[in-house]
Structure 1
C-alpha cells in the first residue's frame, strides 16, 4: 500500500513512476483502475541480482536515465527471543538490507547527476519498544547506516540519499508489528497525534525528498510516525 501510494504521489507531481515487485503483488493490482493510470509495472525480485539487472531494460528503455529511486521493498516476520526462525531472519536481511543495496548498486549508474534516492526504513530502526521485532528493527537500523554511507559515496555527483522511517501506518505489515505491542489503537494512543498514519502521508514525504524542495537535505533519516518515538 505504501509503495502504490508513493507511485501515485509521484505521478501526480509530474514523475513517470515504475513500480517493481514480485508477480503475486503485481498481479494483485488493477493497473487499469483510474487511480493507477500512468503507473508502469515491471517484475522485480530484489533478492536476485540477475533479475535486478534484467529489469533495467524494462524500466529504462532506449538508455533513458532515472531522476530518482525509491527502495520500498520490505518484509516483516516476528522474531521472538528463543523462537527465531532461521528462514525468516535470512529473508528479512536478504530483502530489507541486501535487496536495497542490490537495487541501488545496479541502478545508481543510471541515475542523473543531481538526482535522489529515498530508502524506506522503519520506526523500529530507531526505537526498541516493539516486542518480537528485533531482527526486523536490526535490518532497518542497517538501512539507516547504509543511507549515510551511500550519501557520502554519491555526493560528488550531487545525488542526495535519504531514509524515511514510517511509524505505525495503515498498511498490511503494520498489524503484525502492532499486535505484539498492544494493537494499533494502543500504538496510536502512545503517539503525539493519537492516531496511526496513512500511506499517503508517507508518500508525500518521499515526494518531497525526491524533489528540488529538499535540495540541501541528504544522509538523513526522517521519522513519519506522528511523534510515536518522542520520549
Structure 2
C-alpha cells in the first residue's frame, strides 16, 4: 500500500486532466495538496473540495506557468501554508502542433516556458524547502521520445528537454535522497485529448497504435506518480518512465 501521510505536495497545473488526477490520488494516499491553476478558479476549487473530502488539507494558487516566476511564487505560497514541500509535480502543459513554416519564436517560447522553464523554476524554488528524501516529478510526454506525426517540432523538443533536465537534477540532488523523474504519458483520456471519437476524430486511430488498444486513464498516470513519491520508489531517479500503453513499443 502506498502511504503518503504527513507529506505535502504541490501539483503545478493540478486543476484538470492528469494534474487533477495526480492531486486527488496523492490526497487519497494521505498527502496534503496544493494545486495551481492558470484561469478557472471554479475548476480548481472543485479539485480542492475533493481533496478535502478525502480528509486532507488543500488549497489552490493562481499561477500561470507561462508567466516567468509564477511557479516559483506558487512554491513559496505552498511552503507558507504547509511549512515544507515533500512532493513537487509539474503537470502544466500545452499542445501546440503545426508545420514548422507556420511556427514562430513566440510559439516556441511559450511552449518552452510552460514545459521547461516553469519546471526548472519550481524545482529551484522547492529544493531549499524540501527535506531529504523528497520527490520531484515532471509530466512529460511519449512524444518526447517519438515524433510519429508531422507538426510536433516544438512540442517534442520541449518534452525531450524536460527529460534531460530531470536527469541532471537527479544527479545533482541524489546525495540528499531527493528523486527526480519524468513520467511520459501516451494518449490519455482528458479534455485536451478525449478518447471519445465524437469529440476527437483521431482517437480511434491513436488507440489502435497502442499495444493495449485503448487510451490511458489519468488515474493510471497518477498511480505511477504516487508510487514514485512513496517509499517504494526511492531507488528510481533520473528516469523518463513511459506510462503510454505501449505507444512507443
Question: Do they fold alike, i.e. is TM over 0.5?
Answer: yes
SS of structure 2 residue aligned to 1:161: strand
Residue in structure 2 matched with residue 90 of structure 1 by the alignment: 109
User: Could you tell me the TM-score, scaled by structure 2's length?
Assistant: 0.83
Residue in structure 2 matched with residue 145 of structure 1 by the alignment: 164
Gaps spanning 5+ residues in structure 2: where?
Answer: 1-16
> Aligned pair 1:35/2:78, yes or no?
no
Distance 1:144 1:96 in 2: 11
Pick from 218, 224, 233 the counterpart of residue 214 of structure 1: 233
Residue in structure 1 matched with residue 150 of structure 2 by the alignment: 131
153 and 119 in structure 1: CA distance in 2 versus 1, 3 angstrom threshold: same
Residue in structure 1 matched with residue 208 of structure 2 by the alignment: 189
89 and 14 in structure 1: CA distance in 2 versus 1, 3 angstrom threshold: same
Cα deviation, residue 45, structure 1 = 2.8
Pick from 4, 16, 20 the counterpart of residue 4 of structure 1: 20
Q: Does the CA-based 8 Å contact 1:124-1:130 persist in structure 2?
A: no
213 and 187 in structure 1: CA distance in 2 versus 1, 3 angstrom threshold: same
> Aligned pair 1:13/2:35, yes or no?
no
Gaps spanning 5+ residues in structure 1: where?
Answer: none
Distance 1:112 1:3 in 2: 23
Residue in structure 1 matched with residue 41 of structure 2 by the alignment: 26
> Aligned pair 1:58/2:77, yes or no?
yes
User: Could you tell me the TM-score, scaled by structure 1's length?
Assistant: 0.89
30 and 46 in structure 1: CA distance in 2 versus 1, 3 angstrom threshold: closer
Aligned pairs, number: 225
Cα RMSD after superposing both structures: 2.2
Distance 2:147 2:29 in 1: 35
